[in-house]
């Protein structure tokens, strides 16, 4: 994303791929996860995904790469957080939030480590060989993942055998007030988080940050993402999750306001805001979906709710860049983002108490 409001052509394939994450969560994956074959679905999807990465070295034109990235977004549905969140929710009860936090830090780790390791290799050998390297790393880990998923699948099957019709139906869930409060809150809090995430380095450059400062704050952003994910999951097991999430979003709002006022000297607060919001969002979506609606239609409920997260993630960077183009400053975007965080946190505070303890096969908490 360039600072003039237009997408950087070098990042266009990544953007197209992120758009098609939305299709993942509207795709048959959300329904197939309810057929009690989560492990099989994830394993096969992961294998297909890695195979397509290898094939990407054969592309010679931009449109071919874009088409391939689109297809990857579709066939990668079974390896998305939707499937893994369902497996975790079915296998853990008292420590469900912590388990989600630990399992989902993999995204943060890969986002922080992979670019640093891959960039020099791509500079020397080209992007095609970089894709091959990524594929080989994935292929080495795939047998381990498949083995672990098979073991985890037994927990899903045992939980669903005990109480097959656990939780709300999908129709009842989408007709409930709680469902739409969650959907709107997820969208409102992800949009500013993604907006700053996609423009953070540009913002720092606009503040005349040195290359060493850019590296420092970029690293802090990845660190806070991991910490935020672990902290959110741990706190969800020990306090009422919507209150925890609302408090974290309010901290992010304060971070945005301080960053708008003082800029580079408090850039660490911007990194903290990104880490806390991104870290809590995925944990919050999976945890609250299971607690309020149960496991009966978890795949479809989570898929629709997380689509609102992804729409915010896609719209955020473009919104920040467009506002910068119009105002020649990120202050308006930061102030607006603080307002969105505040509104989202207030919506989370309106969610009702859970009616039951967090059992793997709980009954729905609210209608």
Segment 61-79 shows an average pLDDT of: 63
- What is the reported pLDDT for 320? 93
Residues 249-307 pLDDT 10s: 999 999 899 999 898 888 888 888 888 887 777 778 888 998 899 878 887 888 889 88
> Where is average pLDDT lowest: 96-105, 300-309, 314-323, 344-353?
96-105
> Where is average pLDDT lowest: 154-158, 185-189, 231-235, 285-289?
154-158
Residues 201-235 pLDDT 10s: 888 888 888 887 887 887 788 788 888 888 888 89
Higher pLDDT, 82 or 324: 324
- What is the reported pLDDT for 286? 83
> Where is average pLDDT lowest: 50-64, 92-106, 184-198, 268-282?
50-64
What's the 3-state SS for the chain? CCCCCCCCHHHHHHHHHHHCHHHHHHCCHHHHHHHCCHHHHHHHHHHHHHHHHHHHHHCCCHHHHHHHHHHHHHHHHHHCHHHHHHHHHHHCCCCHHHHHHHHCHHHHHHHHHHHHHHHHHHHHHCHHHHHHHHHHHHHHHHHHHHHHHHHHHHHHHHHHHHCCCCCCCHHHHHCCHHHHHHHHHHHHHHHHHHHHHHHHHHHHHHCCCCHHHHHHHHHHHHHHHHHHHHHHHHHHCCCCHHHHHHHHHHHHHHHHHHHHHHCHHHHHHHHHHHHHHHHHHHHHHHHHHHHHHCCCCHHHHHHHHHHHHHHHHHHHHHHHHHHHHHHCCCHHHHHHHHHHHHHHHHHHHCCCCCCCCCCCCCCCCCC
- What is the reported pLDDT for 154? 58
Q: What percent of the chain has pLDDT over 90?
A: 20
For domain 9-349, is the CATH number 1.20.1250.20? yes
What pTM was computed for the model? 0.74
Segment 178-187 shows an average pLDDT of: 96
Given a cut of 70, whether residue 17 has pLDDT beyond it is: no
Given a cut of 80, whether residue 6 has pLDDT beyond it is: no
- What is the reported pLDDT for 249? 92
Given a cut of 80, whether residue 321 has pLDDT beyond it is: yes
**16 band by pLDDT with thresholds 50, 70 and 90:** very low
């Amino acid at each position: 994303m360039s600072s003039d409001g237009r997408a950087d052509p070098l990042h266009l394939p990544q953007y197209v791929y992120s758009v098609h994450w939305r299709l993942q969560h509207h795709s048959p994956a959300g329904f197939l996860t309810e057929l009690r074959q989560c492990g099989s679905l994830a394993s096969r999807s992961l294998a297909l995904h890695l195979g397509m990465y290898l094939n990407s070295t054969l592309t010679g034109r931009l449109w071919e790469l874009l088409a391939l990235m689109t297809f990857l977004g579709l066939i990668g549905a079974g390896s998305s957080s939707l499937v893994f969140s369902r497996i975790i929710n079915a296998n853990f009860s008292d420590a469900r939030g912590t388990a989600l936090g630990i399992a989902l830090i993999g995204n943060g780790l890969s986002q922080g480590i992979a670019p640093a390791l891959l960039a020099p290799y791509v500079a020397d050998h080209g992007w095609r060989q970089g894709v091959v390297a990524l594929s080989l790393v994935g292929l080495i880990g795939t047998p381990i993942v498949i083995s672990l998923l098979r073991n985890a699948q037994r927990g899903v099957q045992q939980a669903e055998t005990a109480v097959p019709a656990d939780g709300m139906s999908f129709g009842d869930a989408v007709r409930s007030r709680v469902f739409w409060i969650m959907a709107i809150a997820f969208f409102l809090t992800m949009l500013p988080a993604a907006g700053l995430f996609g423009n953070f380095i540009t913002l720092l450059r606009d503040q005349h940050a040195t290359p060493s400062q850019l590296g420092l704050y970029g690293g802090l952003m990845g660190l806070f993402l991991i910490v935020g994910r672990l902290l959110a999951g741990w706190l969800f097991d020990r306090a009422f999750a919507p209150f925890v999430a609302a408090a974290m979003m309010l901290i992010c709002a304060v971070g945005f306001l301080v960053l708008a006022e003082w800029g580079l000297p408090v850039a660490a607060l911007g990194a903290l805001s990104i880490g806390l919001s991104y870290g809590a969002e995925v944990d919050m979506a999976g945890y609250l979906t299971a607690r309020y609606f149960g496991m009966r239609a978890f795949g479809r409920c989570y898929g629709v709710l997380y689509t609102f997260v992804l729409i915010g993630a896609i719209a955020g960077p473009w919104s920040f860049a467009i506002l910068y183009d119009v105002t020649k400053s990120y202050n308006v975007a930061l102030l607006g983002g603080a307002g969105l965080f505040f509104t989202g946190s207030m919506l989370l505070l309106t969610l009702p108490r859970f009616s039951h303890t967090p059992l793997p096969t709980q009954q729905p908490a609210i209608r």
